[in-house]
Amino acid sequence: MERTLSIIKPDGVGRCLIGEVIKRLESSNIKIIAMKMLKMTKKQAQGFYTVHKERPFFDSLTDFMSSGPVVVMVLEAENVISKYRDLMGATNYKEAEKGTIRRNFATDIEKNVVHGSDSQESASFEINYFFNSFEIV
Ligand code: UDP
Ligand code: MG
């Protein structure tokens, strides 16, 4: 069993896509083992995306991620890191496979509805960023 961190980003929450994303997770046999809604400060968004701090999109991305509420979840399944990234689709929704969350709902390379960890190392950092052990059930 593997774990990953999922975020429904401010555009996804604002556009009432929480249920849509959760429905896709549950119908793919991905188990939600922790979940909460919160609004990040700019500093918290910068800390979360620290791997991207030298990227040209960092400032805009962290403004966006702190612009409204997000839903953060810990997901569990076999190979869930790649399984969930397959459900999300490519970062750029224009290149994402048909039927993926981003292809279906993203409006912009930045406003792409969902986040998912990209490796076991980042999953562990990202899960611990938002959840303590008592919140993972
Ligand atoms: N992003 C952006 N412009 C880019 C690349 C990425 O605004 O050229 C944003 C987008 O919201 C993306 C996030 O930064 O989801 C993190 O980028 P990453 O390359 O890690 O993509 P992801 O892992 O989310 O697919
Ligand atoms: Mg990433």
Q: What CATH number does the domain containing 22 carry? A: 3.30.70.141
Distance (Å, whole) CA 126 – CA 48:
7
Between the CA of 55 and the centroid of ligand 1 the distance, in Å, is 10
Catalytic residue from among 3, 24, 111, 115: 115
How many domains does the structure of the chain reveal? 1
Partners of 115 in beta bridges: 7
Find the ligand nearest to 112 CA.
1
Give the Cβ contact number of residue 17 at 10 Å: 21
Which residues make Cβ contacts (< 8 Å) with residue 18, sequence separation at least 6? Answer: 8, 12, 71
Residue 115 among the catalytic residues:
yes
For the segment 92-103, what is each residue's pLDDT rounded down to a tens digit?
999 999 999 999
**Closest of 4, 24, 2 to residue 113, by C-alpha:** 24
Atom 21 in ligand 1: residue holding the nearest Cα = 91
Atom 11 in ligand 1: residue holding the nearest Cα = 110
Find tokens 């604002």 and name the residue: 14
For the segment 52-95, what is each residue's pLDDT rounded down to a tens digit?
999 999 999 999 999 999 999 999 999 999 999 999 999 999 99
Q: Given the CA of residue 85, which atom of ligand 1 is nearest to it?
A: 25
Residue 92's domain spans which residues?
Answer: 2-133
Ligand 1 lining (C-beta closer than 6 Å): 57, 61, 91, 109-110, 112, 115, 118
In this predicted structure, what is the pLDDT of residue 120? 98
